[in-house]
Each structure stands twice: as structure tokens, then as C-alpha cells.
Amino acid sequence: MGNLAPGTAQGAFVENSAAQAGEIRLLVVDLDGTVVGASNQISARVKQAVQAVQAQGIPVAIATGRMYQSARRFHADLGSTLPLMSYQGALIKDPADDTLHRHWHLPRVYAQQLLEFYEQPALRDDVSVHFYIDDQLYVREITAETEAYAERSSIEPIAVGDLRTLLDADLTKILAQSSNVALIDDLLEKLRQRYAPTELYLTKSVDIFLEATHPEVNKGNAVRYLAENILGLRADQVMAIGDNFNDFEMLQYAGIGVAMGNAPEGVQAIANWVAPSVEEDGAAIAIEKFILG
């Protein structure tokens, strides 16, 4: 992490060389809750800020928990020329020419165990299970929650009845969705007691989504790969903006890690600076402050 004071509140930060515009050579943004709000669009102010950054020769990348096909329109909207980091970084692919840089699959033994866990009789009616295979979404059945998710994501879910029939496939991610936030928190705690970080990466992207991927998958590793392996940059030359626990590692890695004002306290606590909320164009304000000056 850079030298700005972690957890610095809105409107205050500690001056140092990492905070100077000339030091930042890569900007990485999350989508939902960061540059994409309730409208499911990127605001004009955020787009203008991103365009101004790119005009300075600083590339802008997206790191999101969304599916690749769901995130592509935002990649185009921002005019990004870099590979798109989707599924928390499990799939890194370039929309310009479909070059695949990295694709980590969930270990099959854990995929089977997770499905068995989520399909316990006590949970089955309260938890919708999403399987992601080859950038397609497979579900047991189409529920109202699934329809809402699919509409926001602009994708077509595929109902298969029995998800066990897909366990031989290479799963990119398993997501458990429930409107019961306390239940999701409880399931996350139980699974973290059951699985070591070397076995599964478990996180929440929003309070009703519990996501599981390959243990090497997280946005921090994805941004490190993009910055160091593809662009030849250092961590202190990266600025990242995010709003939830799936952004945690990315904010820790970046020289300047900015949390949104709508981020949970645990995420704000490790950030260098806390921006206003997504609905207040907080990402644009952070970009204007640290890069455009």
C-alpha cells in the first residue's frame, strides 16, 4: 500500500510523492457501487474524468466481479484499451481481440462440496446458486432474484434443474444469492472456518452475494498481473477505486487505494482515502483529486 494514511476520511489525506499525479501510471476501477450506481450506467462526470485521465496517457482498467459478457459494455463505455478483469480476476481477457490472458477455474472437489452445502434442505429455499461456465450463467431454476440479477447484468440465465449435472465442467465461479443478508454473512463465516484461503477464495461483492473462486483469484492479484506483467509498472504507480470486500486486496495493493463512501467500514478502514458515494460521483472526485489535480 502507498504511504497515504489508511482509513483517511473524506476531504483529508496525507501528502506524499505517491499522491502526485505524475506518479500514477494506471487507474483501475470497480464497476458496481464504484462507477456504476442504481441507474446501472456510468455517469457523465465519471466518464469525463476517465477520458481526461486517458488524455494524459494514463490507461484505465476495469476489475469487477461481473461476468465478462456483462462487463464488456462498460469497458467500451469507458474506452478502456486494457484487458478486462472479470469474475474478481478469475478471467482476464482483452475485448479488442479476445486474447485470453488468464482463466482460473474453481477446483472441482470444492465445487461439489459447495453445491452440497448450499443445497441442504435448511438452505435450499433461501439460497439461489449460480454456476458460471464459459461465461454463461447456469441456475437450478429461474426465480425472481435470478431475473433481477439477469436484468441488471444483461445476460440470459440457463435453467438446468439439477446443477450436479454440470460438476464435470470447468467452473469459473460459484455465487450464492439470498435476500437474507444475515444468512449470507453466516454462510461466509461457516465456509471460512471450513476452507483455508489456500483452498478457496471467498468474498462478498454486495451484501446478498457470496462468491467462491480459485484460491489464487482476487482483484489484487489480477491488478498486480496487469500492472507488473503486462505494463511493467510498480504498485506505487497504480491507483485503484472500489466499494466492497471483493476490492479489499486491490485497494491494499495499489499505491493509492480509494474506497467509496458507500463502502462497508471494513473496506474504508484499509483505504488511503474515502471518496463520496457512487451516487455523488465519488470516483470522479477521487480521480480529479489524485490524478487530474
Across the 293 residues of the chain, what is the mean pLDDT of every consecutive 10-residue run?
Answer: 46 42 88 97 98 97 97 97 98 96 96 96 92 97 89 94 96 95 96 97 92 97 98 98 97 98 97 98 98 93
**CA-based max dimension of the chain:** 56
Which of 234, 222, 9 has the alpha carbon at shortest distance from 103? 222
Distances (CA, A) of 233 to 90, 177, 254: 21, 37, 11
Which class for 101: exposed (0-12), middle (13-18), buried (19 or more C-beta within 10 A)? middle
In the chain, DSSP assigns E strands to 26-29, 60-62, 84-86, 91-94, 99-103, 128-133, 136-139, 158-159, 171-177, 201-204, 209-213, 238-242, 256-259, 273-274
pLDDT at 280: 98
Contact between 67 and 55 under an 8 Å Cβ cutoff? The reply is no
Tell me, what's the pLDDT at 92?
98
CA–CA dist 127, 120 (Å, integer): 10
* Alpha-carbon span 41 to 120, nearest angstrom: 37
| Cα(235)–Cα(233) distance, integer angstroms | 7
pLDDT of amino acid 22: 59
Q: Cell numbers for 33, please give them.
A: 457501487
Global pTM?
Answer: 0.91
Helix (H) and strand (E) counts in the chain: 10, 14
Residue 111 C-alpha from the chain's centroid: 20
Rounded to a whole number of angstroms, the distance between the first and last alpha carbons of the chain is 21
As a whole number of angstroms, the distance between CA 179 and CA 93 comes to 31
d(CA 161, CA 51): 45
- Which residues, in sequence order, are CB contacts of 128 under 8 Å at separation 6+? 139, 140, 143, 145, 146, 176, 177, 178
pLDDT at position 3, please? 38
